[in-house]
Structure formats: structure tokens, C-alpha cells
Amino acid sequence: MLNLNLTDTIAAIATPIGDGGIGIVRLSGKDALAIADKIFISKDKKKSSEFKTYTTHYGVVADKAKIIDEVILTVMRSPRSYTKEDIIEINCHGGIVALRAVLDLVLANGARLAESGEFTRRAFLNGRIDLSQAEAVLDIIKAKTDSALKIGIQQLKGSLSLEINKIRKDLLEMLSALEANIDFPEEDLTAPGLQRIKHGLDEVNKKFSLLLDTSARGRIMREGIKVVICGKPNVGKSSLLNALLKQERSIVTPIAGTTRDTIEEIIDIKGIPVRIVDTAGILEPRDLIEKKAVLRSKKYISSADLVLILFDGSKRLSREDNVLISKLRNKTAIAIINKMDLRRKIDKNVISARFSHLIEISARKSKNIVLLEEAIANLVYKGKVAVSESVLVSNQRHIEALRHAQKLVAEAVKSLDNRLSAEFIAQGLKDSLIYLDELLGKKFSEDLLDKIFTEFCIGK
């Protein structure tokens, strides 16, 4: 467990390390304005502590008489800031030397270097956002596609929190009715009263199911899938990768076995983040390098969510083709006949008998690549159209919390049917509420916060 002093003023570089036009040093805490007073000299000679909130000011950062950098300083006063504390952001030139010099000066004047995710952690602890919204910040940062970004933004806006709070309110109302009966046992719940509670729990159960039904698609859009291209040498694997990427990434030559190792890229296919891997096509390695490449290819194929097995349509099926087919017996795969622009010699019926999904393409001329993308998306979404839900559950922690909460509600319904005591039913609802409270961060452990926020970069 991290031992953090939340009264410290913290600082960090909030932009990626490397050359760039602008880099940002961020401060948050009660001394942020006082530290800015010591190091920032504005053009109009005013102190940072005199500036209005949400204003930016041109000047220099200086260590006594020595100018460190020419900057733009932004003031965001408590409580209307990201952390609900006073925040100063110093926009420096983007080189690491200038950024590091400004950060070192800030630290020398009383700030502490922030831990990973500590700015967002403070936003949560200070009540600006709940825990599911804090996790959405990381999802936005890590988003690989527009769809993943959309999920993160919706969650940050509180779409999931709103639905969970509605369920929580319903459970609390039913719990209140049960506890009134426990406190005043002489006033037994009437049959209509019990029926209302049962109906209410059935409705809550439906709401849980609706949320959990989105989880498979939500996780795919958040985490993506691994797709591996395989095939014997010179069938056009690298050409297919380039066609899917819509750019030259792999070297393409008429020489068989040009790709001697795996090549990975992340692409967006119909809103799905796809980590696509072009494997070496060498089946009989000639040296140690090729042997390692083959072993790596086999490892990728075994762990793939989806395999694209490529055949050369201008040639008959070979022993190597059949070896690969046998290795994919238990894998989800799409068979692709490449080089449809050449005279076909391959027996299409043999391949279609072994694979339920078959597409003919010309990777070199990018023909039918759109059909292939649609086939990948249909397989991932199990043939369902990609509907734009307003709420998608994508985080595994949230999924597990909802599953546990739903299970307890379902057990409470059974208890009602079996006419068990109100105390027993009420305890089930209380336990269900605990899982919802943990999801939102109304109840949490420091270890949980450490686990979540250490995944963040230091400046966020």
C-alpha cells in the first residue's frame, strides 16, 4: 500500500517524454499558487496568486535571476479544477531538458513528485468523480479506436454510474421496506407488499442482465482481439497485412520466406481494436533464426482469438497447406484464398468443406479487403449488428461486481418464493449493495486504489 500524504502539493510532467512543441508541468495542492509565485515572472509583473481562475499568462520560469524557460502559465483554483485543489499548469517548450529543469525547480520550492495516477486519485478522493469514472480516464488515455474512446468518454460522463445508482436506489427502497418489517414484526408484510418487492427484484435482475449483456462487446472494444495471419511461404501474408493497414509495413518480394519473424500492428476494424500479427511462413527452418521464428509463430497461433489462414489461389493445395489446416482444427479461423486476380488452380470446395468462413481476395490489389473486415467484425460480434448502446460495461472489475450483485438479488428472489425470513432476504440485498458500492468507490480499500492508479502515468 502506498503511503501518500494528501496534504502535499504534488507535481509531475503531464505530457509524454520526447521532443515536442509543448510540454506541461502540472502542480496540484494547497501550495501550488505559492510555488508559482516563487518561480514565475509574468510579463505584467503580477504574482500568480493574484490571477483569476481559468486564466493563462505569458512569462518566464526563473531560478532567481536565471531564466529557465519561456512559458504560458494557467491557473485553476479550488474547487473547480480536475483535483478540486488549486492547480497550476506550466506550458513549456517540449524538450525533456526544459521540462526537467522546470520540474526540478518546482520540486525544490516545496512540491513533491506525484505518484502514478495521483492527480486522478485525488479527483476521486475529493469527490469530483467516482471510481468508475476515474478508471474511464485511463480507458480514454489507452483507447486505440474511436469506439474505445467513445466508451471511455461515456463512462467519464457518468453513464454507467447513473445506471448503477438507479439500481442502487431501487434496492435501498426494497431494503427499507424489509427492515421496517424487521423493526416492527407485528406489522407483517402483506401479500401485495411481498409481491411488490418480488416484482422490484425481478426488474433489478433484468437491469443487471441488460448491463452484463453489453460486457462481451464492451471488453472487445476496450481491449481488442489478437488476429494472426498464417500460411505457407509466399502466399501473400505480408501483402494482406499491408492491405489491412492501408500502408506499406511489411517488405513484399517474390522471394519465399522474406518474413523471418513476426510483425505486429494495431488497426481499427469496424470499431474493434485488432492486434494483427503477420507470422513467418517458414515450415522447415534452415537456421537458428528461422527455427525461433517458427516457434514464435506457433505460439502466436495458439494464443490467437482469430486466425486468418491464407492460401495461394493460383496453386494447388500442398502438403504445407494441409499441415497448417490440421493445426487449426480447434481454432476460430477465416480461410482466405489470395491472388484471385490470377487463374485459379486451388480446389475451393476442399477448403470450404474444412472452414465455415471463406473469402477470396487479391491482397496485392486490395480487392475484397472490405469483405474480409466485415467477416472479422461479424465473427467478433457473433453476427449481431454493432449497435451504439449508451452504456457499455467493458471493465473486468465492473463485470465481476455486477455478476456478484445479480447473483445475490436472484438468491433473494428465491428466498422470497420459499417464504424465508425478512432478515435473510434483507441481508442478501445488503451484500448486493456492497458490490455496487465497491464498483462506484463508495466503499474501497487502499490496496484496490493502488492497483487501479498505479496503471496510470505519473502526470495523470
Q: Which pLDDT tens digits describe the chain residue by residue (460 residues)? A: 677 888 999 999 999 888 888 999 999 999 999 999 999 999 998 999 999 999 999 999 999 889 999 999 999 999 999 999 999 999 999 889 999 999 999 999 999 999 999 999 999 999 999 999 999 999 999 888 888 888 899 999 999 999 999 999 999 999 988 887 776 655 555 666 678 888 999 999 999 999 998 888 888 888 888 899 988 888 888 889 989 988 655 444 343 444 445 678 888 888 888 989 887 654 555 445 455 656 666 778 888 889 999 999 999 998 888 888 888 888 889 999 999 988 889 988 989 889 989 999 998 898 999 999 999 988 887 754 444 456 889 899 999 999 999 999 999 999 888 877 788 889 999 999 999 999 999 998 999 999 999 998 888 8
- The pLDDT score that the predictor gives to residue 260 is 42
The Cα 387–Cα 292 span in angstroms is 43
Say whether both 156 and 296 belong to one domain. Answer: no
- The pLDDT score that the predictor gives to residue 262 is 66
Strand ranges (E), 43-181: 55-63, 66-76, 87-93, 112-113
Say whether both 112 and 20 belong to one domain. Answer: yes
Give the torsion sign (CA, 343, 347, 348, 349). Answer: positive
* Residue 89, CA atoms < 13 Å, CB-side half-sphere: 19
- The pLDDT score that the predictor gives to residue 336 is 93
Say whether both 205 and 239 belong to one domain. Answer: no
Residue 136 within any structural domain of the chain: no
Residue 152 within any structural domain of the chain: yes
Say whether both 164 and 204 belong to one domain. Answer: yes
Say whether both 38 and 114 belong to one domain. Answer: yes
- The pLDDT score that the predictor gives to residue 251 is 40
Residue 446 within any structural domain of the chain: no
Domain containing 97 equals 10-130
Give the C-alpha distances (Å, rounded to integers) separating 2 from 9, 82, 448, 449. Answer: 16, 22, 11, 9
**Single pTM value for the model:** 0.80
Say whether both 204 and 233 belong to one domain. Answer: no
Say whether both 358 and 333 belong to one domain. Answer: yes
The Cα 229–Cα 237 span in angstroms is 6
CATH of the domain at 164: 1.20.120.430
Which run of H or E residues covers position 356? none
Q: Do residues 250 and 259 touch, judged by C-beta distance below 8 A?
A: yes
- The pLDDT score that the predictor gives to residue 246 is 82
CATH of the domain at 112: 3.30.1360.120
Q: Which residue has 512569462 as its cell numbers? A: 59
**Cβ neighbours, 10 Å, residue 442:** 14
- The pLDDT score that the predictor gives to residue 196 is 87
The single-letter code of the amino acid at 390 is S
Bridge partners of residue 337, in order along the sequence: 311, 360
Residue 243 within any structural domain of the chain: yes
